[in-house]
Amino acid sequence: MQALGNGSLPAVSFVKPIGEKNEHPGYTDLVQGQKYVKHLVEAIQSSRYWKDTAIIISPYAKKGFVDHTLYDITAILKFIELRWGLQPLGTRDANANNLLNAFDFTQTP
For the chain, which residues make up each domain, given as ranges? 1-53, 58-109
If we measure between CA atoms, which residue out of 97, 50, 58, 53 comes closest to residue 76?
97
Give how far the C-alpha of residue 17 lies from the chain's centroid of Cα atoms, to the nearest Å.
14
- The whole-number pLDDT of residue 27 equals 66
For the entire predicted model, the pTM comes to: 0.71
Residue 100 scores a pLDDT above 80: yes
Give the integer Cα–Cα distance in Å for 59 and 2. 22
Give the integer Cα–Cα distance in Å for 11 and 52. 9
pLDDT band of residue 25 (cuts 50, 70, 90) is low
Q: Write out pLDDT tens, residues 39-88.
A: 989 999 999 999 888 888 888 889 899 999 999 989 999 999 998 999 99
Q: Judge whether 96 and 77 are in contact, CB under 8 Å.
A: yes
DSSP annotation of 24: S
